[in-house]
Amino acid sequence: MQAATLTEAPVRYMERTQLYYRALGYDNDYVWAQHDEVPFTPLGKPLSAMTVGLVSTAGPGDRSHRDARNRRQVWSGLVASPPASFDTDVAWDKETTHTEDRESFLPLEAAQHFVAAGQLGGLAARFHAAPTEYSQKKTIEQDAPEILRRLREDGAEAAILSALCPVCHQTESLIARHLEENGMPTVLIGAARDIVEHCGVPRFVFSDLPLGNPCGHPWDRAMQRAILGLAFDVLENATGPRSTVQSPFAWKPEDPAWRERYARVLPEDRERLLAIGDERRRRFGQPPRA
């Protein structure tokens, strides 16, 4: 495991995303969710006596969670038989890392380790995938209530949420808020600190790692267990909302430039990015460029 020096400032993902979409030719900046008030539900009993559910934004690799128009829907899978591969077709840091190890974004094995050790009462039989949505209204009014319904159906008494891409972090933050408003304690594990804290969540474990691996380096089981253990500590010991704890782990020392790479816009890329933006606008019947 690689320990963090904790000297680098977190990547400002809202700003990076804004500049990237401007380079695509969009002049209306996306307005990220922001709340002054944050709900908070304390644990009603020790974690060792509770059943916890897992919520991510990654669906099955066969894309069965998509409708006829290719829109992602809330999807649930069995912990006992998870898919061999996951659909993570969102804007995580594909230049720096990969999502071939599901434990780096959906810690099923790590959670089962804590159950076996007696530190966690039980893991819900299903895990759930939330659609990554720019539409905050859809997340709040449709997807978050459906996630809550399924968690309750599974007997979950608390939830661990993890996020991959920038908008995934907003989606999971909105879901965490909804769960807490309805009496279910949560903790979110993520890498985009600015987005999560801008939205406002009860409990947050900040992993200063590339987008896509909030729960630890791919294949590093010791790190993944340590980060999930930190999430359980925050879930059990936080005394109020906006409780943020930073993971003590860093990315690979041989790759110190990973922060600068994500969504960078170089002068030589501008025409290519405008062409990508034009193609997107043509697809949706919009004017070619700003």
Among 224, 272, 281, 231, smallest CA distance to 249 is for: 224
Domains of the chain, residue spans:
23-246
Torsion of CA 38, 39, 43, 48, to 10 degrees: -60
- Looking at the chain, the number of H-run helices and the number of E-run strands are 9, 9
Structure tokens at 165: 């891409």
Residue 290 is predicted with a pLDDT of 53
As a whole number of angstroms, the distance between CA 220 and CA 252 comes to 12
Q: Give the residue among 262, 265, 287 at the shortest CA–CA distance from 23.
A: 265
| HSE value, Cβ hemisphere, 13 Å, CA-based, for 4 | 19
Q: What pLDDT is recorded for position 62?
A: 76
pLDDT for res 119: 97
DSSP states along 236-264: HH--SSSEEEE-SB---TT-TTHHHHTT-
Which pLDDT value is given to residue 180? Answer: 98
- Say what the pLDDT of residue 286 is: 76
CB 77 within 8 A of CB 127: yes
Phi-psi map region of 217: left, alpha, beta (phi>0 left; psi -120 to 50 alpha): beta
Which residues make Cβ contacts (< 8 Å) with residue 101, sequence separation at least 6?
218, 219
Q: Which residues contact 117 (CB under 8 A, 6 or more apart)?
A: none
Overall residue count recorded for the chain in this entry: 290
CA-to-CA distance for 23 and 278, rounded, in angstroms? 11
Query: What are 254's two structure tokens?
Result: 């041989």
Closest C-alpha to 14, from 288, 268, 263: 263
pLDDT of residue 5: 46
CA gap 146, 123 in Å, rounded? 19
Q: What is the CA radius of gyration of the chain?
A: 19
**Apex CA 125: angle with CA 120 and CA 127, to 5°?**
95
pTM score, whole prediction: 0.92
Report which DSSP code applies to 142: I
Instruction: Choose among 139, 138, 148: nearest CA to 169.
Output: 139
pLDDT tens by residue, the chain, 290 residues? 544 445 579 999 999 999 999 999 988 899 999 999 999 999 999 999 999 999 999 988 776 676 766 677 999 999 999 998 898 878 999 999 999 999 999 999 999 999 999 999 999 999 999 999 999 999 999 999 999 999 999 999 999 999 999 999 999 999 999 999 999 999 999 999 999 999 999 999 999 999 999 999 999 999 999 999 999 999 999 999 999 999 999 999 999 999 999 988 888 988 998 898 888 888 877 776 65
Q: 3-state class of 131 per DSSP?
A: coil
Q: Nearest Cα to 167, choosing from 94, 98, 90, 244?
A: 90
pLDDT at 128: 98
